[in-house]
A and B are shown apart, each in its own frame.
Chain A
Amino acid sequence: MDKVADKQKREDSLNGVGCSRKRKEDARFIQGKGNYTDDIKMPGMLFADMVRSPYAHARIISINKEKALALPGVHAVITAADLKPLNLHWMPTLAGDVQAVLADEKVHFQYQEVALVVADDRYIAADAIDLVEVEYEELPVLIDPHKAMTDDAPILREDLVGKMEGAHSTRKHNNHIFNWQAGEKESTDRVFDSADVTVSQDMVYHRVHPCPLETCGCVASMDKINGKLTVYLTSQAPHVVRTVVSMLSGIPESNVRIVSPDIGGGFGNKVGIYPGYVASIVASIVLGVPVKWVEDRMENISTTAFARDYHMRGELAADSNGIIKGLRVNVLADHGAFDSCADPSKFPAGFMHICTGSYDIPVAHLNVDGVYTNKAPGGVSYRCSFRVTEAVYVIERTMDVLAQKLGIDKAEIRRRNFVKKEQFPYKTCLGFELDSGDYHTALEKVLDAVDYKGLRREQEEKRAKGELMGIGLVTFTEVVGAGPSKSCDILGVGMFDSAEIRIHPTGSAMARMGTITQGQGHQTTYAQIIATELGISSDEISIEEGDTDTAPYGLGTYGSRSTPVGGAATAVAARKIKAKAKKIAAHLLEVSEDDLEWEVDRFKVKGVPGQEKTMKDIAWAAYNNVPEGMEPGLEAVDYYDPPNFTFPFGAYLCVVDIDKHTGVTDIRRFYALDDCGTRINPMIIEGQIHGGLTEGYAVAMGQEMPFDEQGNLLGNTLMDYFLPTFVETPKWETDYTVTPSPHHPIGAKGVAESPHVGSIPTFTSAIVDAFAHLDVTHMDMPHNAFRVWKQVKALGLLD
């Protein structure tokens, strides 16, 4: 066979990077043989269920367990009083605050955990929770974050009274959590004072919830004989859980095993350590048998980490040509009753300071104040990349407002302000160094694909007839891949990640990473990286994650960090193996290493055809014929501390038609172009984009978590909480460019958060655009038919 064709054939058979190969994990899922937490059964296992507060703010006067304990099959009813002697009634959060495990003398949000009931089966447990009698004394409720710091605001956190030094800053008020700033206030203010044009727009990024189809849960099993605690749980960060559980329980980390089995969707919902896990672990330790706790849907929506609730003001200062001179962003953040945000610990507002976006902005100032309210804790979740959803929303919305004020087309104003290709790597004025980008190309590709000019002409015609058509445009830059350990840590543990690869004698391989897939396809994509690095077919590389007894320490999967950090560790570990393999090959071929070159799956002696050793040959030799002084075996570990984040970007365009009589919006077209650098598996990338866009659609168009004056959460079932079905979901068009990351070993950036981050402001942009000719500059989400209709009516468009 022709040499070139032979080389291509060998490359194709690797199914490596760039190949849309089918997924290896599918086999078990399509046969109903996935292993999710609620599938796990252990001998003697008991079931736990949670008694929860009906009130948002109340003192607990008494808890009577008698009737519940009298029900046959009930083994225990655990309250804060039972956890107190173990000092486990409160636990530290990831954000430097503390959180009640079980309500200690008072409850701070509706559905807060009050008591854990443990019974023989889930039916008895369900009956038992109705029998626990709790007496409450209601207290005044604080729901509006804007009222949190007034003089007459109710006191929520009695445990913090007098403690005015918070984890991140001094606190101005007992309901104040932190103040966080980036950039330069004085120089930014001066720019605004002297600018030709300034715009200011208030906007709310409303509270929503990631709502994966699998709720949270665990099976905790304390083996008293061996002193080992094993917990299976829905966690996106099993090693972090192990460290925290060890610290809380006093059991050495070497005797704690955390296993994240198959996870039915994470989306940031499964990062935090929830009271249900801790209480179940205690129950298992006390009772000496496995205890399973799995929440139901209402519990999931009502109490696990919500997302967003950022009340923002975006301001831009520009010259009359629309060139930006300065950016000011002010945020009031509603964190609920405890600050349990899953941010890297130095960043209480996450990466909000990416709010300079894709633009060359000389000076900026960001100010964020977080406050407590009587709502469930959270804030960072739902594919937000640590507040990047909020950051992109504020800059993209404010750009539109600036464009509208100046009468400049939305695409044009972006072109004028983009960071140019030549400027990369580009240091933003708020402290990020964007690794690579080509924003102009991405934008032009999208505008050409949809015939933007034609759409604007059509819009003119429709406006003349009184029809509402809108075109939304967003050109976002994301920051993912947290992150360099000098700035990024979770509870003090640096945010590196890891990979361990071992080649077996007969040439196949296994690898374990510190990340954990929840549907992103790691079993396939990591194998593809190794396949391309080492010349072994990805079919013969098995990937494992999630068992802390065997996987190297990692910080888990969220914020699209697996490819940038875990993928880098994988490539570097593979390269260590390759370096050793080269030495073995030189030894086998009796040449020096300098005489060798690598081609697809083998080392060849330069200029001597036929003198070559495949990785398979080398693997066998590694176990029986290594050079003098070299240890046998063929494996490597890498702990990768990334030098920087990665910055995927994209250009999204959306066309909407609004039925003014009902307020219903038809998403006529959505065109999404993403650049995530090197594309490991295009099929998987496209799937992630479809999913992220669909979540974004749900957030922008219908999801909400409204509270009434008493702090009751309305709409916490799937009757009201908007999860679009096949029928509502638009058809997505996807496209891409490739601008590799210069600092990543294979140039890959990560992609899965981008469609969520970028699509949400695109929908708002489109809907506002439908009314822009009537001087509407902004409309808050969700853009459900009711709210859009109210706008139509307010504008007098219904005769």
Chain B
Amino acid sequence: MIPSVFEYHKATSIADAIAKLRDNEDAKLLAGGHSLLPMMKLRFAETPYLVDINGIEELKGIRIDGDTITIGAMTTESELINSDILQQYCPLLVDAAKLVADPQVRNKGTIGGDVAHGDPGNDHPAVMLALDAQLVIHGPNGERTIPANGFFLGTYWTALEEHEILVAIKVPALKPGTGHGYSKLKRKTGDYAVAGAPVVVEMDGDIVRDIRIGLTNVAPMAIRAEAAEDLIRGKRVDEALLKVVEKAVIAVCDPAVDLRGDEEYKSHMAAIMARRSIIQAIANAKG
């Protein structure tokens, strides 16, 4: 219930936060704190030096420039849900945020924390893959922007280099003919997904011109069901195709066995969530 001792420092800017990480061994960032503090209270995580990045203005805010939306990493789940810009131009993010945890946790949990933490149970990584998002990163060696696809490398392992901080996420604004779907199976409110599947489609009439299927919590990190996508791209989706797609989704899953289920169940649930999201996405692409 009680964390071990640490020093606490508020960072005044992104550069200051990076410097503090660099200059203090085993320093950790405090964002929303609703992944880190529970782990510290159970003493599964410890740090001698906590860097609070709440209050850094450049990490907040949602803005749209043309067809790109830029979301500050410290944007909370509640702010995602209440954002007019996202509701209109990236409703997939809104739908996903609504199913994260509970209202109090959503008031504090941030999209940046959810993306960068590396927990395979976090919901936003797969959404980033489905949106083909870009991640803006600052570090001691400068700034870089990299695609989300390829950022998630394993459990608690991302492409973030030492002392780097995720500062913003760029997602495309919804274009006409684009649809989204989101399905998440969970045991109860506040639980991680048994399986989650965010899907984005671009339609040409009844043909799926392009599709991206993200999968949550059925592998050591968020993944794209690329083989399943290949089966759908350029085709009209019918029941027969969906059955084949389900098998392809099952084939890429490598879930951990836990009280939520065994490998067979979780893989099959990933397939069912993907199916439901695909159907949803195609339906709302038509407007």
Chains A, B in direct contact (C-beta < 8 Å): yes
Q: A127-B4, A130-B43, A720-B259 are in contact. Are A728 and B269 (CB under 8 A)?
A: no
A127 to B191, CA, bound (A): 29
Complex interface: chain A residues within 8 A of B272 (CB):
661-662
Distance to closest chain A CB from B195 (angstroms)? 9
Q: Looking at the complex, which of A277-285, A665-673, A685-693, A783-791 is the stretch in contact with chain B?
A: A783-791
Complex interface: chain A residues within 8 A of B268 (CB):
789
Complex interface: chain A residues within 8 A of B187 (CB):
702, 722, 784-785
A719 adjacent to chain B (CB < 8 Å): yes
Of all chain A residues, the one with the shortest Cβ separation from B43 is A130
Contact between chains at B188 and A724 (CB < 8 Å)? yes
Q: A130-B43, A714-B259 are in contact. Are A727 and B189 (CB under 8 A)?
A: yes
Contact between chains at B189 and A725 (CB < 8 Å)? yes
Of all chain B residues, the one with the shortest Cβ separation from A702 is B187
A463 adjacent to chain B (CB < 8 Å): no
B261 adjacent to chain A (CB < 8 Å): yes
A663 to B269, CA, bound (A): 10
Complex interface: chain B residues within 8 A of A126 (CB):
1-2
Contact between chains at A662 and B269 (CB < 8 Å)? yes
Contact between chains at A728 and B265 (CB < 8 Å)? no
Contact between chains at A706 and B5 (CB < 8 Å)? no
Of all chain A residues, the one with the shortest Cβ separation from B191 is A719
A186 to B190, CA, bound (A): 54
Complex interface: chain B residues within 8 A of A724 (CB):
188
Point out the residue from B2, B191, B262 that lies within 8 Å of A123, measured CB to CB: B2
Interface residues of A toward B: which range?
20 to 34
Contact between chains at A715 and B259 (CB < 8 Å)? yes
A724 to B260, CA, bound (A): 15
B185 adjacent to chain A (CB < 8 Å): yes
Contact between chains at A662 and B185 (CB < 8 Å)? yes
Complex interface: chain A residues within 8 A of B265 (CB):
663, 786, 789-790
Distance to closest chain B CB from A208 (angstroms)? 14
B230 adjacent to chain A (CB < 8 Å): no
B176-214: which have CB < 8 Å to A? 185, 187-191, 194
Contact between chains at A725 and B188 (CB < 8 Å)? yes
Of all chain A residues, the one with the shortest Cβ separation from B262 is A786
Complex interface: chain B residues within 8 A of A784 (CB):
187
Distance to closest chain B CB from A719 (angstroms)? 7
Complex interface: chain A residues within 8 A of B43 (CB):
130
A296 adjacent to chain B (CB < 8 Å): yes
B102 adjacent to chain A (CB < 8 Å): yes
> Total A-B residue pairs with C-beta atoms closer than 8 Å?
50
Contact between chains at A725 and B102 (CB < 8 Å)? yes
Contact between chains at B259 and A706 (CB < 8 Å)? yes
Of all chain A residues, the one with the shortest Cβ separation from B5 is A127
Complex interface: chain A residues within 8 A of B190 (CB):
719, 725
Of all chain A residues, the one with the shortest Cβ separation from B102 is A725
Complex interface: chain A residues within 8 A of B5 (CB):
127
A582 to B269, CA, bound (A): 74
Q: Mark A174-197, 1 if CB is under 8 A from B, else 0.
A: 000000000000000000000000
- Interface centre among A130, A661, A789, by most chain B C-beta atoms within 10 angstroms, is A661
Complex interface: chain B residues within 8 A of A772 (CB):
none
A21 adjacent to chain B (CB < 8 Å): no
Contact between chains at A785 and B188 (CB < 8 Å)? no
A719 to B194, CA, bound (A): 13
Complex interface: chain B residues within 8 A of A663 (CB):
265
A661 to B185, CA, bound (A): 11
Of all chain B residues, the one with the shortest Cβ separation from A721 is B259
A583 adjacent to chain B (CB < 8 Å): no
Complex interface: chain A residues within 8 A of B2 (CB):
122-123, 126-127
Complex interface: chain A residues within 8 A of B189 (CB):
725-728
A447 adjacent to chain B (CB < 8 Å): no
A716-757: which have CB < 8 Å to B? 719-720, 722, 724-728
Complex interface: chain B residues within 8 A of A122 (CB):
1-2
Complex interface: chain B residues within 8 A of A704 (CB):
259
Of all chain B residues, the one with the shortest Cβ separation from A661 is B272
Contact between chains at B185 and A785 (CB < 8 Å)? yes
A139 adjacent to chain B (CB < 8 Å): no
A42 to B178, CA, bound (A): 65
Q: Mark B1-25, 1 if CB is under 8 A from A, else 0.
A: 1101100000000000000000000
Point out the residue from B1, B102, B188, B260 that lies within 8 Å of A786, measured CB to CB: B260
Complex interface: chain A residues within 8 A of B269 (CB):
662
Distance to closest chain A CB from B66 (angstroms)? 39
A106 to B259, CA, bound (A): 30
A706 to B262, CA, bound (A): 14
A296 to B43, CA, bound (A): 14
Distance to closest chain B CB from A718 (angstroms)? 8
Contact between chains at B261 and A702 (CB < 8 Å)? no
A722 to B187, CA, bound (A): 8
A60 adjacent to chain B (CB < 8 Å): no
A661 to B191, CA, bound (A): 20
A664 adjacent to chain B (CB < 8 Å): yes
Q: Mark A122-139, 1 if CB is under 8 A from B, else 0.
A: 110011001000000000
Complex interface: chain B residues within 8 A of A661 (CB):
272
A676-714: which have CB < 8 Å to B? 702, 704, 706, 714
A784 to B102, CA, bound (A): 21
A158 to B188, CA, bound (A): 43
A123 to B40, CA, bound (A): 13
Contact between chains at B188 and A702 (CB < 8 Å)? yes
A127 to B190, CA, bound (A): 29
A726 to B4, CA, bound (A): 34
Q: Mark A757-799, 1 if CB is under 8 A from B, else 0.
A: 0000000000000000000000000001110011000000000
Of all chain A residues, the one with the shortest Cβ separation from B276 is A661
Of all chain A residues, the one with the shortest Cβ separation from B121 is A719
Complex interface: chain B residues within 8 A of A727 (CB):
188-189
Distance to closest chain A CB from B242 (angstroms)? 12
Contact between chains at A786 and B4 (CB < 8 Å)? no
Complex interface: chain A residues within 8 A of B102 (CB):
725
A720 to B268, CA, bound (A): 21
Q: Mark B68-101, 1 if CB is under 8 A from A, else 0.
A: 0000000000000000000000000000000000
A126 to B1, CA, bound (A): 8
Distance to closest chain A CB from B43 (angstroms)? 7
Contact between chains at B194 and A785 (CB < 8 Å)? yes
Complex interface: chain A residues within 8 A of B262 (CB):
786
Of all chain A residues, the one with the shortest Cβ separation from B243 is A799
Distance to closest chain A CB from B223 (angstroms)? 21
A664 to B5, CA, bound (A): 43
A702 to B261, CA, bound (A): 13
A728 to B188, CA, bound (A): 7
A663 to B261, CA, bound (A): 11
Q: Mark B262-287, 1 if CB is under 8 A from A, else 0.
A: 10010011001000000000000000
Complex interface: chain B residues within 8 A of A662 (CB):
185, 269, 272
Complex interface: chain A residues within 8 A of B4 (CB):
127, 130
Of all chain B residues, the one with the shortest Cβ separation from A121 is B2
A702 to B102, CA, bound (A): 19
Distance to closest chain B CB from A38 (angstroms)? 12
Distance to closest chain A CB from B217 (angstroms)? 13
Distance to closest chain A CB from B253 (angstroms)? 15
A701 to B261, CA, bound (A): 15
Q: List 24 A-B contacts (CB under 8 A).
A: A122-B2, A123-B2, A126-B2, A127-B2, A127-B4, A127-B5, A130-B4, A130-B43, A296-B1, A662-B272, A663-B265, A704-B259, A715-B259, A719-B191, A725-B102, A726-B189, A727-B189, A728-B188, A728-B189, A784-B187, A785-B185, A785-B187, A786-B262, A789-B268
Known A720-B259, A725-B190; further 9 A-B contacts with Cβ < 8 A: A122-B1, A126-B2, A127-B5, A663-B265, A664-B185, A719-B191, A725-B102, A785-B187, A789-B265
Query: Which residues of A come within 8 Å of B, CB atoms?
Result: 122-123, 126-127, 130, 296, 661-664, 702, 704, 706, 714-715, 719-720, 722, 724-728, 784-786, 789-790
Query: Which residues of B come within 8 Å of A, CB atoms?
Result: 1-2, 4-5, 43, 102, 185, 187-191, 194, 259-262, 265, 268-269, 272
Nearest 5 A-B pairs (CB), nearest first?
A126-B2, A786-B261, A725-B189, A296-B1, A727-B189
